[in-house]
Structure 1
Amino acid sequence: MRAVNANGVTLHVQEDGDPNGAPVLFANSLGTDLRLWDAIIPLLPDGLRLIRFDTRGHGLSDCPDGPYTIDALATDVAALIEALDLGTVTLVGLSIGGMIGQSLAARRPDLVRALVLSNTAVKLGEPATWADRIAAIKANGLAAMEGAVLDRWFGPAFRATPAAGLWGAMLSRTPAAGYVACCAAIAAADLSDSTAMLRLPTLAIAGTHDGASPPYLVAATAALIPGAQIHVIDGAGHLPCVENPAAYAAVLNPFLKEHAYV
Structure 2
Amino acid sequence: MKTSYKIQGAEHNPVLIFSNSLGTEMMMWDALVPYLLPYFRVLQYDTRGHGGSDKPEGNYSIELLAGDVIAVMDKLNIDKAYFCGLSMGGLIGQWLGINNPERFYKLALSNTGAKVGDDKGWNERISSIQNKGMQAIADGSSSVWFTDDFVKKQPKQTAAYKEMLLRANVGGYCSCSVAIRDVDFRENLDVLKVPTLVITGEQDPVTTAKHATFLVENIPDASLVLLPARHLSASELPKEFADVLIKFFTAKPSLS
> Is the pair's TM-score, using the shorter chain for normalization, greater than 0.5?
yes
Q: What aligned pairs does 1:210-249 form with structure 2 within 5 A after superposition?
A: 210-234=204-228, 236-249=229-242
CA distance in 2, matches of 1:47, 1:142: 37
Per the alignment, residue 170 of structure 2 pairs with 176
Per the alignment, residue 55 of structure 1 pairs with 47
Q: Relative to 1, partners in 2 of residues 1:136 and 1:44: Cα closer, same or farther, differing over 3 Å?
A: same
Q: CA deviation at 1:17?
A: 1.5
After the TM superposition, which parts of structure 1 deviate over 3 Å for at least 4 consecutive aligned residues? none
Q: Bigger CA drift: 210-219 or 33-42?
A: 210-219
Per-residue Cα deviation, 1:184-208 (whole angstroms, up to 9, x for no partner): 0001010122222111211010001
Unaligned runs of 5+ in 2: none
Is contact 1:201–1:259 with CA below 8 Å preserved after alignment?
no
TM-score, length of structure 1 as denominator length = 0.92
- RMSD over aligned Cα, in angstroms? 1.4
Equivalent position to 2:4, from 5, 12, 16: 12
Q: CA deviation at 1:45?
A: 5.5
Is contact 2:196–2:222 with CA below 8 Å preserved after alignment?
yes
CA distance in 2, matches of 1:242, 1:259: 27
CA distance in 2, matches of 1:133, 1:183: 9
CA distance in 2, matches of 1:63, 1:46: 34
Q: Kindly, what percent of the aligned residue pairs are identical?
A: 34
Per the alignment, residue 30 of structure 2 pairs with 38
- Say how many residue pairs are matched: 251
Q: CA deviation at 1:159?
A: 2.3
Q: What aligned pairs does 1:66-145 form with structure 2 within 5 A after superposition?
A: 66-145=58-137
Q: What aligned pairs does 1:141-156 form with structure 2 within 5 A after superposition?
A: 141-156=133-148
Q: CA deviation at 1:10?
A: 0.3
CA distance in 1, matches of 2:95, 2:67: 9
Per-residue Cα deviation, 1:136-160 (whole angstroms, up to 9, x for no partner): 0011111231122222111111123
Unaligned runs of 5+ in 1: 1-8
TM-score, length of structure 2 as denominator length = 0.94
Structure 2 residue identity aligned to 1:54: D
Structure 2 residue identity aligned to 1:71: E
Structure 1 residue identity aligned to 2:91: M
CA distance in 2, matches of 1:18, 1:195: 34
Per the alignment, residue 193 of structure 2 pairs with 199
3-state secondary structure, aligned to 2:31: coil
Per-residue Cα deviation, 1:70-105 (whole angstroms, up to 9, x for no partner): 011111111111111111111100000010011011
Is contact 2:36–2:42 with CA below 8 Å preserved after alignment?
no
